[in-house]
Structure 1
């Protein structure tokens, strides 16, 4: 069975964010992820993890102004200085919290814009170098345009090309099963082909992004395939519970 990490941004919304750590541990999780920790001091997050006996699986670099629709800075050449400061901030948090991975969001930009393509490639290389110097891995994730219109990294093949071309030992792929199914389907074949590059997986049902097993894809077959392929990382439960979080965890018994 894969190791699951509760996504505290989406799950356990019945609680204030600081209380979600204890709630996840009480529900049986041993690790967590979330989008951003930056509303709280890193030491506070580390304390919550320690109190709950949890491991940190992953969190994201600062995305810019999320409330205004910004979804990362990496592909925005005019924001290079701000992007590099965001890398430093994420690494400072990661060092204190003890995360093995950081996810770098690309931003809203046309993937056909040459300036955006150059900026993004340079940003990936910079962030991978900086994180690697601290022993922290970096992942990039293709995100579908239905959920995030205009997102720069909206293609799995492009992500694989960038990772392969840069050939940085610290740079890997974040494979979100939900996004892959929405974008292209063919989930099992993609996992088989891309497994050497994958260091983090996320799951949610399609199309409503609720608990696994409630949508069009056989999520349990996909999870069994991860086991067969020897995947050793976490599977982040990045889904929106259809009701109360704990009441919806029965899907874990189906694996």
Structure 2
């Protein structure tokens, strides 16, 4: 049995009755990296003291890709967050097409993305790459399904791939969230193949329910074999709730990605 991937889990979604630093410590003890969401929600000093392998966190607090005011806000927020991420040693800083509000609902909703929006989004991501080079960090752009996140510009897997591939700079990668791809498009293995040159992280949860692998319809062991066969050996993060016991959920995740 081999473990070709770098496994991590989102701390906010597990052991929700425990302090975040306790969750980071327990994930570390179990051999997982630690994913985070918004840093202002936490005591950074306590998280630093855990000395966990913090793998990914939201790379901005506000802003959006496709208009000038939103881009300026995003760039300022991303630079501030990059410096916070460096305190924790975070590997990747995550972006979306626009900021998300309560329940993950996009703050700036557009059902149609126009040509000028595409050009502006590409320009904004090139400027994000400039910030990333200055701060020595890597940003990822995540796909989102439009049932849970209606009106999110550049939310689909196809849109994220088109943007990141068109920018094609090493400081910008895809955070390929297969839970969202399954809901939005399906055909997971072929999307992994299409995105492979630009993948910075793969995130997983089963569907329906957004719980650990094995609780829904996605054949994650088969997907893990396909990823290994295509040469992927990078980060895989479980961004999922536990259907029951959190440690059992994590072990199910580990088993699904052990070959």
Match of 1:62 among 42, 60, 63: 60
**TM-score, with normalisation over the residues of structure 2?**
0.86
Task: Output aligned runs, 1:1-255, within 5 Å.
Answer: 1=3, 2-26=5-29, 28-40=30-42, 42-48=44-50, 50=51, 54-64=52-62, 72-107=63-98, 108-110=108-110, 111-114=112-115, 116-251=117-252, 252-254=254-256, 255=258
Deviations 1:67-123 (A, max 9, x none): xxxxx5333533333222201111111221112211112113324245543442222
Q: 1:216 to 1:100 in 2, by over 3 A?
A: same
Cα RMSD after superposing both structures:
2.0
Contact 2:122/2:166 (CA < 8 Å) preserved in 1? no
Give SS of 2:201's match: strand
2:102 match:
none
Q: Which runs of 5+ in 1 are unaligned?
A: 65-71
- Partners of 1:89 and 1:192 lie apart in 2 by 34
Contact 2:205/2:240 (CA < 8 Å) preserved in 1? yes
**TM-score, with normalisation over the residues of structure 1?**
0.87
Q: 1:113 to 1:238 in 2, by over 3 A?
A: same
Contact 1:76/1:109 (CA < 8 Å) preserved in 2? no
Give SS of 1:230's match: coil
